[in-house]
Amino acid sequence: MTPLSPDAIEALFTRSDDQYLFARWGRPIVPVVFGVTEETVTVLKGAIEALCVLTGHKMAETDPELGANLMVFFVQDWAELTETPNLDRLIPDLGPLVTRLQQAGANQYRIFRFDEEGAIKACFSFVRVDDHLASVPADTLALNQMTQAILLWSDRAFGDTSPLAVADGVAILRPDIADVMRAAYDPVLPAMARDASHALRLAARVGRVQ
């Protein structure tokens, strides 16, 4: 698969309001998963660990400010979120959010929090296991969810095409997306960028970052 063009990379971080916004994690990732079996938790944590190896980022046992900073919630119905103890303290507008998700018929949603420099400091990932997601293998679902949590992609980045591909019947990260992720965590680049020229700097590193 050929590397993505500068325009294609720019589109990955250009939001639906046509504003470019890139951010990567600025601290080690500490994941915690709710609503699934221990086996699935292991698969999810394995996926984020693999992506940290890919990007050169770090994981940790605890976050000094938040305890855990990547929280993944699996539910059968969005209404379950309002019944989760103390979640409304983390997500102040939880009630209205649940209503919007129900009305949209959504099956996933992510909320990011940022530090003073604009880097990601926390991500709350919500997944409603509808009929479609229930048919997706756990390792595929895990890799897809973690891929979308490790960078602040555009809200329309993967609306038409998945960040994953299939090789020998197994879901893998698309090589061109993997290249972008490696480049995104190049320590020479800023942890947050609002200027689309940042996409040119990513493009210059795609395929050359080891």
CA atoms within a 13 Å half-sphere pointing along the CA-CB vector of 166: 7
Alpha carbon 118 to chain centroid distance?
Answer: 16
Tokens of 102: 């129900």
pLDDT tens per residue across all 210 residues of the chain? 678 899 999 999 999 999 999 999 999 999 999 988 888 899 999 999 999 999 999 999 999 998 999 999 999 999 999 998 889 888 989 999 999 999 999 999 999 999 999 999 999 999 999 888 888 888 999 999 999 999 999 999 998 889 999 888 888 999 999 999 999 999 999 999 999 999 999 999 986 544
Q: To which H or E segment does residue 74 belong?
A: strand 70-75
Residue type, 183: A
d(CA 27, CA 67): 12
pLDDT of res. 1: 64
pLDDT of res. 133: 85
Residue pLDDT, tens place only, 69-128 = 999 999 999 999 999 888 988 898 999 999 999 999 999 999 999 999 999 999 999 999
pLDDT of res. 36: 87
> Strand order of the sheet with strand 31-34?
31-34, 70-75, 120-128, 108-114
d(CA 107, CA 127): 6
pLDDT of res. 167: 84
d(CA 179, CA 139): 21
pLDDT of res. 207: 60
DSSP readout, 131-169?
A: HHHHTS-HHHHHHHHHHHHSB---TTTTSSS-SEEEETT
Task: Name the residue among 56, 5, 51, 47 with its Cα closest to residue 176.
Answer: 5
pLDDT of res. 209: 47
End-to-end alpha carbon distance in the chain: 17
pLDDT of res. 104: 94
